[in-house]
Structure 1
């Protein structure tokens, strides 16, 4: 799959996948869905991909390079949000009938925006750091590192995002259920696709450096 690539070339590709997935997740997170009577933001559909790429970056390239990608993703998401809001503010011609719908889909409240940014930075950095720390402790247990780092990263992400974004808008019991369900959903998702994560990590490690 990666035979004709170097680690440097693949690093650039993973950076693109990571950043694009983050921006997509923040767009679709504005809609929620009912999952066996538990309400979850639709961002959970793609957000686990971000953590899988995060695991690959931390495992193969180390914490510093993973951190640079995380910060780049944060910056590009900020640029995207600024562009959305400028676009919403620009006056539309009379024949454009979907201006309000456009604003509803791409416009974010300041509260949710702050919640998503803080949660993303904290969760992603904890996930990457824990992958590296656990690797030093035991390099053989890749499954353990991937799942535990995701559980902690996703758990912290869910606590921060849902607490800042929804506290006061629903009962505390519902908030707790939503936090636990979101963290578990994403962790189980990564467990299911772990064979793919392991394959990608193994393939990337086998590539030449340059």
Structure 2
């Protein structure tokens, strides 16, 4: 099952980068990039991997995700630079959607690498303390700690100096609150997947 989890994880990372250009609003409360809807599911997957297969498996998954994102960015940039055929009249739109800015790309990779390692570290430490008990606690605690780091780093690198400081802080707060609530809502899914895999496989769970 770990191969399926890794595949879903990497696929979600690539999808999040593709849809990141779309902004949506929650009424008058916040404006958020569509990527957060996808990205919030990557953290529970890491938690599930660390829960069942151990810390090193989680770290390897994070590393694979980073390498895959870098390769995706390289190939996207190559395809953007390919000369457009005369019948293809959407080159500008293609570039606008997939190109992104250098700052946003750097912000995404840096925040990803740091925050996902924090997820692995915090979750593993809590599992060492509680064993199989309190999965809900380590799942939410690891995600909530890492998400404040992820959101703060990404927003700061991507937008610092381009918008007022108050707006910057507002973006960080609104995105974090969205991720915080989403993490709590996804907790039952984590329990379901962990239960299904434990039932399906005889796993000598590692730490």
TM range (shorter): over 0.9
CA-CA distance at 1:202 after TM superposition = 2.1
Q: Does structure 1 residue 35 correspond to structure 2 residue 26?
A: yes
Gaps of 5+ in 2: none
CA-CA distance at 1:95 after TM superposition = 1.2
Give the RMSD, CA atoms, in angstroms: 1.3
Distance in structure 2 (CA, Å) of the matches to 1:32 and 1:163: 18
- 8 Å contact from structure 1 (residues 30, 105) kept in 2: yes
CA-CA distance at 1:205 after TM superposition = 2.7
Which residue, out of 141, 149, 155, partners 2:142? 149
CA-CA distance at 1:25 after TM superposition = 0.5
| 1:136 aligned partner | 128
Q: Does structure 1 residue 72 correspond to structure 2 residue 52?
A: no
What secondary structure, in the 3-state scheme, does the structure 1 residue paired with 2:32 have? strand
Instruction: With the length of structure 1 as denominator, give the TM-score of the two structures.
Output: 0.92
Distance in structure 2 (CA, Å) of the matches to 1:60 and 1:22: 21
Distance in structure 1 (CA, Å) of the matches to 2:49 and 2:115: 15
- 8 Å contact from structure 1 (residues 151, 184) kept in 2: no
Distance in structure 2 (CA, Å) of the matches to 1:67 and 1:108: 27
Which residue, out of 162, 169, 178, partners 2:162? 169
Matched residue pairs, number? 201
What secondary structure, in the 3-state scheme, does the structure 1 residue paired with 2:41 have? helix
Instruction: With the length of structure 2 as denominator, give the TM-score of the two structures.
Output: 0.93
- 8 Å contact from structure 2 (residues 52, 203) kept in 1: no
Superposition misfits of 4+ residues, deviation over 4 angstroms = none
Higher mean displacement: 145-154 or 27-36: 27-36
